[in-house]
Amino acid sequence: MPKYAALLYGPAETEGQGTEEDWAHTMDEYNEFGQKAGAAGVIAGGEALHDTPTATTVRVEGGKGGEVIHTDGPFAETKEVLGGFYLLDCADLDEALQWAAQIPAAWHGKVEVRPVVEFPQDQ
């Protein structure tokens, strides 16, 4: 069964934004999705990520063994940031897109669906 990464993008959280109730409501939405997709056996993994100020971007200049350059922050500084991801086990892209549309980030922000590379196991 192919795996798809559903990457959850949304507005960057800023301190003191949104009420307690908003937050609780969003958590309920995620729990609802987790229960539904979990019961269907679709979720193969996933994590929530800390906010983008905690991100460090790593790049090695001049090829392997070259100078390691760290940049504070995410790869691309945009209004919408990667907040977390699910790994979805789905038969095809249509099924993955149907599940992705039920992830709360789809209406709070956007969900990017990417097929996961499957490396051959037995060679």
- Output 2 or 46, the one with its CB closest to other proteins: 2
- Output 22 or 112, the one with its CB closest to other proteins: 112
Please report whether residue 112 would count as binding other proteins according to CB under 8 A: no
114: left (phi over 0), alpha (psi -120 to 50) or beta: beta
Strands (E), 1-123: 3-11, 43-48, 56-61, 67-72, 80-89, 110-115
Please report whether residue 121 would count as binding other proteins according to CB under 8 A: no
Binding to other proteins in span 2-61, by CB under 8 A: 2, 4
The single residue listed with the structure tokens 């019961």 is: 39
- Find the binder of other proteins among 29, 80, 97, 108 (CB under 8 A): 97
Smallest distance, other proteins to C-beta of residue 2, A: 5
Count of other CB atoms within 10 angstroms of residue 88:
27
Q: Which residues bind other proteins (CB under 8 A)?
A: 2, 4, 91-94, 97, 113-115, 120, 123
